[in-house]
Structure 1
């Protein structure tokens, strides 16, 4: 059976991730599990539209680490994907040149639409492996990828008029944990006025997303990204983060909303008392929690208003953009 060994790097606003896997006709087989480093590449980009020198230094250190891993695990191909922060940075040429010098590939600065499609691919690729064919969760699947600078909303087919793993509509919103925290939630803890301003900003973007994505059709909501999995871990009452426990867990909207509100209103010092929260997310997880809470509320309301159905839970997933990058690269190489 033909197979290829590939690597993917997902360089986001808050973190950068590497994964190496073999891809064949049966799917993706991970050889080097995800390595994640919080580098805050998008520090102040929303305000200055430029990469900060300290942020670049942190990111280059992580990329150098990834380069060493790749030397020990040679691959047939590597794809480096950069997202929201790099899309917004005026001095991104310097960053792209430095990545090439270190890895021998230039970053693919992808648009939000491709980011959404790859996140959908990664999140839905494991659904059949988790469930028997007659026990799959209700379609269509709506995937929310809540990043540091942007949040992608994408819905797939219903299994009748379109395959459930086919993207039907997608939209990228310029809201995320870092962007909302830096733009609005600057006090510690955030003030009521700051929270109200952030909610207005978030809801405006969700309104726009709903013009492109029929989220009211959602059968199963899947949440991916560090913010979502962190909030899910807290909602599950974990003392420390456990990837296997969070991955695939179904969380009720009411429990998630209470958790999001509690984390939003914590001081940074209080958040440090939760080992589930990665130290690199302490100062921005409140912004992410607020975005996630508003997305859950708005999609739940849209479903109820459209046809009276009740959508009151989501599935947390550890599989998102990075999985999609690797799987898509491997499949394209096999097809070629």
Structure 2
């Protein structure tokens, strides 16, 4: 139930690889979970990079997850639902079929948001929980998804608040897209890896024309790829949200783990319970994107001659948190 100074909202984030639901109360102090994040790996973006259409089996997986979410929502009345769809849906010619079916199942029309809005919401979610004194602004939030990766730089805390967006850019590279486009063999060949690196670096170079990567003093990495690779770098035998959230990892440690899992066969990756089964085949592609983002940002900061940037912070808070917080605030504003 809600009071005059709080609202209960549900946020749904439907990306290229997974769909997530979160139900929370939002007030002046922030977000208070009612139903913690639910995640289902649906691979909605299966072959979208090649066909520009949703595959029938991918839609079936998405609808099954939506029906499950509808059952949860029936038990937790909310003041409103915001359903956000991102990279794969932006690219799919048959997205109307998807949107119509989701409206029938959940009673809400998916909003296919542009990459710029996705970037801003990811930044809001990631920085909305920043409390640590050792996290120096400007923050660069990196949301590494299945189909796209957002780079969002905030203010310096002086001329612009640290939690305000200064610049953002959405790149059409991600774990699923890079795996399907380049890393076709199992394990991938060096030639395929080199082609993927060239593709990724070209996108980062383009992004750097908009986002001043050299100004970064703290990298905050969000999404399943980043948190999974962080858990592996920590040596966790099973995934633990509490242990991963807020963990600082050195670049050198990340590079070693990213490269090792990139070059593994899928069968070998599947023996690691830390990796969600739905990520086993694409986590290597995601790790390569993450590796190149860290390397490029590190080089850009070094070129400035300032304090060396040699580590990042992993966060469990990103786009979904931003959707919930932003929507809740907007509902509060009109009450």
Q: TM tier, shorter chain?
A: over 0.9
The gaps in structure 1 that reach 5 residues or longer are: none
Please report how far the alpha carbon of residue 308 of structure 1 lies from its aligned counterpart in structure 2 after TM superposition.
3.7
Please report how far the alpha carbon of residue 219 of structure 1 lies from its aligned counterpart in structure 2 after TM superposition.
1.1
Structure 2 residue 119 is matched with structure 1 residue 121: no
Equivalent in the alignment of 1:167: 165
- Tell whether the 8 Å contact from 1:231 to 1:260 is kept in structure 2 after alignment: yes
Equivalent in the alignment of 2:266: 268
Please report how far the alpha carbon of residue 273 of structure 1 lies from its aligned counterpart in structure 2 after TM superposition.
1.1
Quote the Cα distance in structure 1 between the aligned partners of 2:249 and 2:34.
30
- Secondary structure of the residue aligned to 2:208 is helix
- Tell whether the 8 Å contact from 1:28 to 1:327 is kept in structure 2 after alignment: yes
Please report how far the alpha carbon of residue 311 of structure 1 lies from its aligned counterpart in structure 2 after TM superposition.
0.2
Equivalent in the alignment of 1:98: 101
- Tell whether the 8 Å contact from 1:127 to 1:136 is kept in structure 2 after alignment: no
Structure 2 residue 26 is matched with structure 1 residue 23: yes
Give every structure 1 segment of 4 or more consecutive aligned residues whose post-TM-superposition deviation is greater than 6 Å. none
Equivalent in the alignment of 2:75: 72
Quote the Cα distance in structure 1 between the aligned partners of 2:49 and 2:76.
36
- Tell whether the 8 Å contact from 1:2 to 1:24 is kept in structure 2 after alignment: yes
Quote the Cα distance in structure 2 between the aligned partners of 1:146 and 1:78.
24
Quote the Cα distance in structure 2 between the aligned partners of 1:263 and 1:211.
31
Please report how far the alpha carbon of residue 136 of structure 1 lies from its aligned counterpart in structure 2 after TM superposition.
4.7
Please report how far the alpha carbon of residue 215 of structure 1 lies from its aligned counterpart in structure 2 after TM superposition.
1.1
1:5-41 per-residue CA deviation (whole Å, 9 max, x = no partner) reads: 0000000000000000000011110000000000000
Q: TM (normalized to structure 1)?
A: 0.98
Equivalent in the alignment of 2:50: 47
1:116-166 per-residue CA deviation (whole Å, 9 max, x = no partner) reads: 0000000001112xx3xxx25110010000000000000000000100010
Equivalent in the alignment of 2:193: 195
Corresponding residue to 1:214 among 195, 212, 215: 212
- Tell whether the 8 Å contact from 1:144 to 1:222 is kept in structure 2 after alignment: yes
Deviates more, 1:1-10 or 1:38-47: 1-10
1:198-244 per-residue CA deviation (whole Å, 9 max, x = no partner) reads: 00000000000000000100011000000000000000000000000
Equivalent in the alignment of 1:302: 300
- Secondary structure of the residue aligned to 1:18 is strand
Matches within 5 A, 1:144-155: 144-155=142-153
Structure 2 residue 318 is matched with structure 1 residue 316: no
- Secondary structure of the residue aligned to 1:4 is strand
Corresponding residue to 2:111 among 108, 128, 134: 108
Equivalent in the alignment of 1:10: 13
The gaps in structure 2 that reach 5 residues or longer are: none
Quote the Cα distance in structure 2 between the aligned partners of 1:257 and 1:183.
22
- Tell whether the 8 Å contact from 1:7 to 1:21 is kept in structure 2 after alignment: yes
Please report how far the alpha carbon of residue 309 of structure 1 lies from its aligned counterpart in structure 2 after TM superposition.
2.5
RMSD: 0.7
Quote the Cα distance in structure 2 between the aligned partners of 1:94 and 1:108.
14
- Secondary structure of the residue aligned to 1:212 is coil
